[in-house]
Structure 1
Amino acid sequence: MKCMNKPGTKNLITDVDGIKIGNAEDEDVMTGVTAIVPDNAAVAGVDVRGGGPGTRETEALNPDCLVERVDAVVLSGGSVYGLEAAAGAVMALAKLGRGFQMKVIRVPIVPSAVLFDLGNAGNKEWGDMPPYRRLGMAAVETAGDDFALGNIGAGYGAAAGRIKGGLGSASLISADGVQVGAVFAVNPVGSVVIPGTRHFWAWSFEQDGEYGGFGPPEFQGDMPLDIPAESRLAENTTIGVVATNVTLTKSEAKRIAIMAHDGLARAIRPVHTPFDGDSIFAISTEKKELSEPRPFGVAKIGAMAADCVARSVARAVYNARSLGGVPGFMS
């Protein structure tokens, strides 16, 4: 009998053992932060594909660099201002006793990536104190197993072309106990929905009607490819994290991140444009050893991750509601 991968109990990245998520928003500014916090320092990798990325400490995740594990990954709105969210997360983690010990101080390792939501209707007159450091601390402090989707965390102020973007998540668990999950803040220049229809580009990967069950579209001609006219160019980016319970090396984690980008290509059209800063982190919580030869096991995890990414993108938009003049998918 054929074994099928199925979503976990929550259908969230927190179905992966050892992963917690925290979200914090500023409704006035119309922005937010998401913190992905493993129970213990975790092996991680990253792959950046977009033409306009905003990141922090991604170079440290290269397989030839000293850092072996991270204490959290932070996703944030705010573009360059949002990079300060990682500083807040560092402080919150240090208070929790996380990070490696350097004489009298703890040093948490927190890579991060940002998206551009500065052009939305929120109040950006914050003077010399943008909210992101505070939001980064709050996201870590509230990390837990359950969280909402849509207008929350790093996806709070996001837009996806003509409709509201948001935060999405999904999971898959194999018959032999391999757990894979994803969480993504979706703010692309490309379209998540097939233009002129109610159908998601990722329709074929849907599980249990998780984004409406609209099914396959009926094309009346060439498949549309143009950047949506409503997209705000250079105000974009989709960022996220995939996680697995399987023990990986840094090189293997990077390979998972590379493969996971296929999920963006399945869910957003076009993707990885010069206007996007698309970045994916991969985390291993090291709860399970591979039960098959490593290259085959890594390939399996990467394929599962790509599917979770595609579903997370669609779930982000499906669950987002109208905000700041940008209509939600269900409007």
Structure 2
Amino acid sequence: MTLPPNQTLTAIPGFRVGHWTDPVGRTGCTVILCPDGGAVASASFLGPSPGTREGVLLAPEKKVERIHALLLTGGSAFGLAAAAGVVRVLEERGVGHETPWARVPIVPAAVIYDLGVGDARARPGDREGEQAARAASTDPVVRGRVGAGTGATAGKYRGPEQAAAGGLGSVMLERYGVQVAALAVVNPIGDVLDERGGILAGPGTGVGASAFAPADVTNTTLIAVATAHTLTKNDARRLADAAQTALARVIHPSHTYWDGDAAFVLSACTRPPADPMLLGALVQEAVCAAVRDAVRMAAEKA
């Protein structure tokens, strides 16, 4: 079978991705634009330190089912301000949730903590979010030290001086006509593992090998999964939980006291529903592959 030239998240019809990158300040943001009619979405948040905007809206019992964009950003809580720029771009284009007086763009966001990597005063904001949204396209996703992955690092349990490059990765997988794509911003305290369980990024010595106090750093891995296969909001939540489970296969240790991992699942709902078991398996495989892609691309472009 001949593989398509685009094997990243933008291979899923209707989704576009754009970055804003500050290579000097070592931070950035990434915007995923959904089809104009929105994407059914839900999310799963694990770890005690998530930084999010409109995360509660994605719970299955909440009324709004569709979002219009997703922002993944550096800058810790400061970076959430970039969502305002994304909202402005969507409003200009007439995209949003219909209300009696205006279309309101629904733009959830999640952050990583990268303030100690470059310039702690360099943070994505309103203007930077707008630039990332305007840059969004269906081109293959640019990966590595770019966008929200610019200041990401991995394997920090022995201290930041022994951390490896994290980054941003993306893959699209297809099996039996079912397509799933994942985009990962990889910034964990744990090591990233390769396909055989070996160390791909990080010291590889294991937790407890030094007196370093992990509380001195903050970490998080962000995952966005996209598909065109029709999902309900409940379906999306179950797949978001599956995406979190995949992190435990590729990051060791995962979901620690110092992580705030967030996994989002977005469906364009333009194709018939897929077999749930196959869909869940592909979600987990795509997440693992996107995490590995992030660190490999970051190392390649170092």
Contact 1:8 1:171 (8 Å CA) reproduced = no
Per-residue deviation, 1:158: 0.8
* Aligned equivalent of 1:167: 168
What do the CA deviations read for 1:88-123 (whole angstroms, capped 9, x no partner)?
11111111111023345331001111000001122x
Show structure 1 runs of 5+ residues with no match.
193-200, 205-215, 292-296, 321-327
Aligned to 1:202: 194
- The answer to whether the Cα contact below 8 Å between 1:191 and 1:228 also exists between their aligned partners in 2 is no
The yes-or-no answer on 1:258 pairing with 2:259 is no
Shift of 1:232: 7.6
Cα drift, residue 276 of structure 1: 0.7
Question: Over the residues paired in the alignment, what is the CA RMSD in angstroms?
Answer: 2.4
Matching of residue 180 in structure 1 with residue 180 in structure 2: yes
- Does 1:151 pair with 2:145? yes
Asked whether the 8 Å contact 1:169–1:181 carries over to 2, the reply is yes
Aligned to 2:132: 139
Change in CA separation of 1:329 and 1:163 when aligned onto 2, cut-off 3 Å: farther
* Segment drifting more, 177-186 vs 12-21: 12-21
1:121 counterpart letter in structure 2: G
Is 1:109 the counterpart of 2:106 in the alignment?
yes
- Alpha-carbon shift at residue 298 of structure 1 (Å): 2.2
Q: Paired residue for 1:306?
A: 284
- Within the alignment, does 1:241 sit opposite 2:216 as a pair? no
- Contact kept, 8 Å, 2:144 with 2:301, in 1: the verdict is no
1:139 and 1:298 map into 2 onto residues whose CA distance is: 33
**Alignment CA distance shift 1:62-1:86 (3 Å):** same
Given the two structures, how large is their TM-score scaled by the length of structure 2?
0.88
Structure number with bigger Rg? 1
Structure 2 CA distance for partners of 1:110 and 1:235, relative to 1, 3 Å? same
Take 2:282 and 2:3, find their aligned partners in 1: how far apart are those partners? 11
Q: Decide which of 282, 296, 299 is 1:318's aligned counterpart.
A: 296
Mapped partners of 1:189, 1:94: distance in 2: 37
Kindly indicate whether the alpha-carbon contact (under 8 Å) linking 1:20 and 1:37 is maintained by their aligned counterparts in 2: yes
Q: Residue 203 of structure 1 aligns to a residue in which SS?
A: coil
Alpha-carbon offset, residue 268 of structure 1: 0.7
- Give the conservation status (yes or no) of the 8 Å contact 1:235–1:275: yes
- Inter-partner Cα distance in structure 1 for 2:186 and 2:100: 40
Conserved in 2, the CA contact under 8 Å of 1:259 and 1:306?
A: yes
The TM-score normalised by the length of structure 1 is 0.80
Query: Which of the residues 6, 11, 32 maps onto 1:15?
Result: 11
1:150 partner amino acid: G
Residues 177-208 of structure 1 deviation map (CA, whole Å, 9 limit, x = unaligned): 2110000111100011xxxxxxxx2315xxxx
What do residues 127-151 of structure 1 show as CA deviations (whole Å, max 9, x unaligned)? xxx5422221111111112222101
- Shift in alpha-carbon separation, 1:290–1:101, aligned structure 2, 3 A: closer
2:169/2:290 contact within 8 Å kept: yes
Q: 1:8 to 1:280 in 2, by over 3 A?
A: farther
Q: How does 1:82-101 map to 2 (within 5 A)?
A: 82-101=79-98
Aligned to 2:57: 60
Identity of aligned residues (%): 39
Which residue in the other structure is 2:32 paired with?
Answer: 36
Kept in 2: contact 1:7–1:171 (CA 8 A): no
Q: Give the structure with the higher percent strand.
A: 2
Q: What are the Cα deviations for residues 138-183 of structure 1, in whole angstroms up to 9, with x where unaligned?
A: 11111112222101110011111211110001111122x2110000
